[in-house]
Amino acid sequence: MESQHELEELAIKLYNIDAIKFGDFITKTGLKTPVYFDLRVIVSYPDVMELISTLLHVTAIKGKDFDHLCGVPYTALPIATLLSVQVKKSMLLRRKEAKSYGTKKMIEGHYKVGETCLIIEDVITSGSSVLETTQDLRKEGLKVNEAVIILDREQGGSENLARHEVQVKSLFTMTNLIEILVKHNKINIDTANNVHSYIKETHAPKIVKTQDRVLLSYEKRAELASNAVAKRLLTIMATKKTNLCLSVDLTSASNILDVLEKVGEHICLVKTHVDIIEDFTTDFISSLKSLAKRFNFLILEDRKYADIGNTVALQYLKGIYKVAEWADCVTVHSLPGEGIIKAIASCNGVNSQGIFLIAEMSSEGNLITGDYINETVKIAEKYSSLLTGFVCQNRDTFKNPGLIQLTPGVQLESSKDNFGQIYNTPEKVMLEKGADVVVVGRGIIAAKSPETEVIKYKEALWKNYMKRVSGKME
């Protein structure tokens, strides 16, 4: 087959059926464009469908070694179907939404881990749709390294995909499509020049490869953090080589100070419940602060604020405890909505505010749902510079590597307490659950010798942190 001749024939047909239009258009994202493609119409023209699949077969697919092909929903689905029959290779279907019942599978069809899949798409601009399909296929263990496209708009899509190890092969680039249409007098030189300068000036945003947060070192993440407390905490963790937070749930001020004197060098953070202390004084706070300075750890008051913003601001600043004056960070429920974050951030005179937003809890039967978690993470995205991180239990809860996952519910021995607390091992929270800072309370403070126990926890956690950043998780 004379492919150049057929390509020209296809370009003309696409123009004639209004799959390519020239004029002043506004794109989905609100940008002006002098050229518009709508390849959805091709399903009404069997001759165009046939020509496209034959051309894709001959010019882009023949001789390639692959096990499956998968069209990006929806325009490319019928083309992928035709190709699958033509080249006698299995096709996979990617859902746009996971089914809400049954298997929740994103990919339909029969396949095995390690098999290769070729992607089929109609037009690429930024490459983001191809990338979404690629990522879903890769999650299933399929290898995806090539995408076959009808038209590359040359606005950064193939570079974005190359950054994610997907090579693009297209039937047309915008430049050669325009050349063909000029050659066949479908458009004039002015229109062609207009399109050329548009391509030059209008580039899709770069899609950089995001690295899984849990594979990055704490040093690297300190650089990525925008909240000052998160930066300090990650730096302390990297310098002291510990991600252990001690929860000092004791009711006597002197007992708290005694324990910290013994274990301070092994922790990055101390977590207090100041309202359980029976002999609270401002002297206690001064001693706590001087221990924090001496041993280089931060202080988290686990107050779990949950009221309207105005009340929370008063609770944070006033009363007997004056938390804002001494705590580096506090825990906050997302239940009342984003006003609670704004309220804490608005407290003047507080030098460094850190907020851990509670996205999940460790206790059995807690009422937090998937939707609640998603909405909590959305609030956090809006206020990421005010947030130090999340109190949560799972690595998939959030992605931002500049935020910290604080995970309580950890013990070496027990699996539960009598009131619904659920415990996981240090290995499990570090390798499976994605914890960054791990909270241990009774596992250390109720032990016969907290000073011996703290080292066991610190070492078990750090060993698993090293394992995960070295990429030896599986």
Distance in Å, CB of 457 to ligand S5P, minimum:
10
Query: Which two structure tokens, joined as six digits, stand for 349?
Result: 């005179």
Q: Which is nearer to ligand S5P, 151 or 274 (CB)?
A: 274
Q: Which of 13, 220, 262, 304 is catalytic?
A: 304
Q: Which residue is nearest to ligand S5P (CB)?
A: 441
What's the chain look like in SS3? CCHHHHHHHHHHHHHHCCCEEEEEEECCCCCEEEEEECHHHHHHCHHHHHHHHHHHHHHHHCCCCCCEEEECCCCHHHHHHHHHHHHCCEEEEECCCCCCCCCCCCEECCCCCCCEEEEEEEEECCCHHHHHHHHHHHHCCCEEEEEEEEEECCCCHHHHHHHCCCEEEEEEEHHHHHHHHHHCCCCCHHHHHHHHHHHHHCCCCCCCCCCCHHHCCHHHHHHHCCCHHHHHHHHHHHHHCCCEEEECCCCCHHHHHHHHHHHHHHCCEEEECHHHCCCCCHHHHHHHHHHHHHHCCEEEEEEEECCCHHHHHHHHHCCCCCHHHHCCEEEEECCCCCHHHHHHHCCCCCCCCEEEEECCCCECCCCCCHHHHHHHHHHHHHCCCCEEEEECCCCCCCCCCCCEEEECCECCCCCECCCCEECECHHHHHHCCCCCEEEECHHHHCCCCHHHHHHHHHHHHHHHHHHHHCCCCC
Nearer to ligand S5P, 33 or 331 (CB): 331
Q: 156: alpha, beta or left, given left = phi > 0 and alpha = psi -120 to 50?
A: left
In the bound complex, what is the minimum distance in angstroms from residue 370's beta carbon to ligand S5P?
A: 16
Q: Smallest distance from the beta carbon of 31 to ligand S5P, in angstroms?
A: 45
Tokens 């037009």 locate to 123
What is the nearest approach in angstroms of ligand S5P to the Cβ of residue 453? 12
Binding residues (CB under 6 A) for ligand S5P: these are 247, 249, 273, 302, 331, 361-362, 391, 408-409, 421, 439-443
Question: Rounded to whole angstroms, how far apart are CA atoms 275 and 298?
Answer: 19
Q: CB of residue 383 vs ligand S5P: minimum separation in angstroms?
A: 20
Minimum gap (Å) between residue 463 Cβ and ligand S5P: 20
Q: Which of 150, 18, 138, 23 is nearest to 76 (CA)?
A: 150
Based on CB atoms, which residue is closest to ligand S5P, 345 or 412?
Answer: 412
Nearer to ligand S5P, 291 or 447 (CB): 447
What minimum distance in Å lies between the beta carbon of 472 and ligand S5P?
28
If the CB atoms of residues 399 and 416 are measured against ligand S5P, the closer one turns out to be: 416
Which of 242/421 has CB closer to ligand S5P? 421
CA–CA dist 109, 137 (Å, integer): 12
Comparing CB distances to ligand S5P, the nearer of 264 and 443 is: 443
Closest separation in Å from C-beta 442 to ligand S5P? 3
Residues 6+ apart with CB under 8 A from 65: 116
- Mark whether 416 is an active-site residue: no
Q: In this complex, which beta carbon is closest to ligand S5P, that of residue 408 or of residue 426?
A: 408
Residues labelled catalytic: 304
